[in-house]
Amino acid sequence: MKLNTLIPALLLLLSTPLFATSFTTDKPATIYMVVWRGCEDACQGFRQYIEDKQLPVRIELRDVARDKGKLPQLLQEARAMKPDLVVTWGTSVTKAIIGTQASHNRQYLGDIPAMFMIVADPIGAGIIDSYERSGRNNVTGIRNRVPEDVQIRAIKDYIDLKKIGVIYNPSALNAALNTQKLAKLADKMDFELVTRTYQLDSQGNPLPGQIPTLMQQLADEEVDMVYVGSSSYNREKRDEFTAEAVKNKLPVASAYDVMVTKSNGLLAVANRYYNVGRLAGNQAEKVLFGDKAPGELPIPSLSRYSMFINMDVARQLELYPPIQLLRLAELVNAKPE
pLDDT at 335: 65
pLDDT at 16: 40
For residues 29 and 84, the answer to whether their CB atoms sit within 8 Å is yes
- Closest-CA residue to 180 (of 121, 257, 266): 121
Burial of 18 (0-12, 13-18, 19+ CB in 10 A): middle
Burial of 123 (0-12, 13-18, 19+ CB in 10 A): middle
pLDDT at 11: 43
- Closest-CA residue to 228 (of 153, 166, 184): 166
DSSP for 55-94, please give it.
--EEEEEEE-TT-GGGHHHHHHHHHHH--SEEEEESHHHH
pLDDT at 24: 94
Q: What residues form DSSP beta bridges with 167? A: 196
CB-side exposure of 248: number of CA atoms within 13 Å?
26
- For the chain, give me the number of helices (H) and strands (E)? 13, 12
Determine the straight-line distance between the first and last CA of the chain, rounded to whole angstroms: 84
Question: What angle is formed at CA 16 by the lines to CA 12 and CA 21, rounded to 5 degrees?
Answer: 145
pLDDT at 280: 98
Q: Spell out the per-residue pLDDT of the chain, length 337, in tens.
A: 444 544 444 444 444 444 445 899 999 999 999 999 999 999 999 999 999 999 999 999 999 998 999 999 999 999 999 999 999 999 999 999 999 998 877 789 999 999 999 998 999 999 999 999 999 999 999 999 899 999 999 999 999 999 999 999 999 988 999 999 999 999 999 999 999 999 999 988 999 999 999 999 999 999 999 999 999 899 999 999 999 999 999 999 999 999 999 999 999 999 989 999 999 999 999 999 998 999 999 999 998 899 999 999 999 999 999 999 988 899 998 765 4
